[in-house]
Chain A
Amino acid sequence: MTTDAHRELVWRAYDTTFNQRDPSGARDFYADDYRCHMSLHPEPIGFDGLELDGQNILAAIPDVTVTFVDAFGDGDRLVVRHLLTGTHKGSLMGIAPTGKRIAMTGTDIYRFVDGKIAEEWAQPDIFGLLQQLGALPTTS
């Protein structure tokens, strides 16, 4: 597959999950042994974990939309910076709804095998999100 095809595959996965509000509908874009490395999760998660994250985001930010800010790649890998925007209307990571508009970037690297997303290293900007929600947890 070309980088353009990889970009289209990842875009369809995001578009299906968030813009079309159908996290389970994205399953076919991922390999059976897909693994996602994300600091939020102590161990890599599979598609089921990703689907749950998607459902949680849709419940917390019902009007969420996703766009790609930048994407490029080479060989079997693609680098994507995406942007999730919406309104915080449901509980998010234990934080009660604030009604605030939020914008969260994610910076991710994908690896592909046989036309599917096989592995992902994802850096959602949780720090920036908590700042926007006024919810950075202090130690004192």
Chain B
Amino acid sequence: MTGGTASTARMEAVVRCLFDEVWNAHRDEIVTELFDPDYRTPAAPGLTGGAAKLAVIRSYRTAFPDVRITVDDLVIGVDQAAVRWTLSGTDTGGFRGRPPTGRTISGWGVEMFGFFQDRIATDWIGADWLGVLIQLGVLADPWISLTSDDREHGR
């Protein structure tokens, strides 16, 4: 790889560190090494860099203190990487200010990372938030009111 770009090995190390060390092992002090100082996420308005990502991770830990995230697949491109992950946890802390339900939830997602030099500068998550909210009982299952025939025909 040339000067401005992150090596494949570096990107894999950064991404695995985020999930294995920060998410799962709670080594929160590492996170600033993984994110570009200008990283921002709509999930943590007003914060930048590793502090922004950490705020998001901590919001999950508040709701699901036993939260675990596993890396099911990892794809590395040029200055980009993606992870397919599965997140699970038990709602003993209360999700976004709601009373705890005690329910265990699980959902998977695809997270795309953009690198600037050796650090994560952007990320984009496609995940089954609807399924998580249904599992928590926050939302009703929109498919349950459809008969199987309706579902087949999208009515």
Given contacts A91-B155, A127-B129, A109 and B142 within 8 Å (CB-CB):
no
Q: Is B43 an interface residue (CB 8 A)?
A: no
Contact of B130 among A53, A72, A126 (CB under 8 A): A126
Segment 65-85 of A: residues with Cβ below 8 Å from B = 70, 72-74, 77-79, 81
Segment 74-120 of B: residues with Cβ below 8 Å from A = 75-78, 80, 82, 84, 107-110, 112
Task: Establish whether residues B84 and A73, one from each chain, have CB atoms under 8 Å apart when the complex forms.
Answer: no
Given contacts A73-B77, A79-B82, A94-B155, A137 and B110 within 8 Å (CB-CB):
no
- Enumerate chain A interface residues (CB-CB to B < 8 A): 3, 39-40, 52-53, 55-57, 59-60, 70, 72-74, 77-79, 81, 91-94, 105-109, 121, 123-127, 130, 135-139
Query: Ordered nearest first, which 10 A-B pairs have the shortest CB separation?
Result: A107-B126, A56-B154, A72-B77, A123-B126, A39-B128, A137-B140, A127-B130, A79-B82, A107-B110, A127-B129
- Enumerate chain B interface residues (CB-CB to A < 8 A): 73, 75-78, 80, 82, 84, 107-110, 112, 124-131, 133, 137-143, 145-146, 150, 152-155
